[in-house]
Chains A and B, each alone.
Chain A
């Protein structure tokens, strides 16, 4: 295990704590209510999300996404409170995503958070999105001190905890893995419903042929943009045929490309995760982030962990994909350590690295 499992500096909850978490750093608006009861175990009271889905071949633009969040925010927060059966007056703090993410959507959510804070006179807690993912993953899976692979549309990082900081061991040097998959989905015109990554995964299951793509690990880091270009180049190849079930051996189908793309990039991710595990001597690995709900990635990680007599922890789409409850969880942890974001500083930022956060609630 990396380090010893020390006692948490978190003071035992003398009463029940309730936090509202608001998330909207990308194309999902999410709200969730987290309860930390007196006796310990955290409870998810409600966790609701709405996704802004664009037509096939299009990505989500910041401006339209922000508009989506503004339109849905109040409805979702109301639903969230109703489902949890609590009123705004009972909430201890309002947690919001400070960053990283897309500027416009972040701003529309922080505006909602600020307004609620002033209306109900509740303190604000700004949360790092990545730390939210990690804390929620730890809470749900019970992993004590895992190596974390955080893979989503905006982030690709291998993280390990050390001395009150989530240190980044390896990361992508260019685009995020989710971005790579999503953009390829756009190239071959896959639907964005429920998510482009999910549809790539379904297509990949039908693919058989492994086409050669660059394998780009650099130190502990990976580079993905070149792989996207390479796989895109195959779609311009003379052998590329869109219709399914072509038996001709020499044809390249979109399914083959999805399959090859997944196999290659996931192998790279699993490899750098394994290197981080070997380096710090950990046997646990936790996968978080939207791409973490990909079953092939979970499967590959599982095989790797098994070969090392380790264990893999993954969550399902409710907690993997961006959601409000993870912001509530990470926010409530820091709130209980005495952290609040004053109104004047309740800004958001597109650039906010995982390792900038002082993790006071862990020893």
Chain B
């Protein structure tokens, strides 16, 4: 009675706090609207979309090859894994199989990326909970991995290293040596982090029993990756639907039991050790061989096979009048507008306007366009004398023309892709990253959709936070390991 009266007089209400999008602990631009009663969370509403860049829509306007760098910018913490996920999906759609060496290299860099991601996760998670030093120790090792990435592809964060059909380039020996040294030293470094937090009573008090989610519920929420495995569900795409070289290496899938923040932390720590061992196995087993699938339809042709045409600077392009049907292909393709001529009549190249870029050479279907080595600066009459039909050119030039044609077609139109739709999932450090493509047979996807683990996990935040204290929201955000670049896309 008195309490009711008191409630009437002193109207109490929950404090409504906006956490984010600018907040030190929301890992980017996550916005959580918290209703708090004292320090207890009553309600959490996550708002996402502050980092929306329309990556899925952009992907529909870019060819399958071009859209690859976009995936770097989804989960920029483990860009390599995202690249691999994209490439694996596109390869499935194309129906091509990368060579074994490429698969092993991808597995290596994928696991490196997993370690890098988990290191950053541990760093920020520990920093959020207040263990500042772990942050910098983790970055020390992450830096090593990023340097290794730089060694193979010239970029540290947004790597764009895997390609559809393989990887961009073979790995240098120095990379393998340095990486081996890393794998030898890394376990002791993990012990270092664990010295600081693993048994620390404060860390235990902050993580054990916080954000508990049962196995069943975790599955129902659509959790994947270590976030799910912390609850004891041994689901790992690498084990259940192996891609790349994961069927050729041995590794365990660490799982937790309690499904709390501490178990998820343990899972990720063990996973780093597993990744380390996977990398070691892959280095040991790394087979010799090609790193790109030799499939002319879907990969870029070798550059050195174009050199007979692209290297000399004295080439002249010439249209053989008799063979020209006046289709206008070259006319439309010429970037310099150096070709003139009416429809159905022989076209002509204005040599003073010509850039010698060989675009026309790759478009002519009627063997009318030919190349005259050493013909630059000569008059049309002289060229007509020297010109030979393209099928009578030397073999190396003919091969170069084929490759050049492939190069131009591939870049300007995109590869010809079978129609259909496909969903392919890969295990990125954050969980199951799925790519869904609808292909209408053109060079660009009709629809590209990404199943981002961060998005799904961000949705679980209210479930993990309600009833706990404000400080536990931070632990919950840390434990589900989200990156808003991926969540918002």
- A and B: partners? no
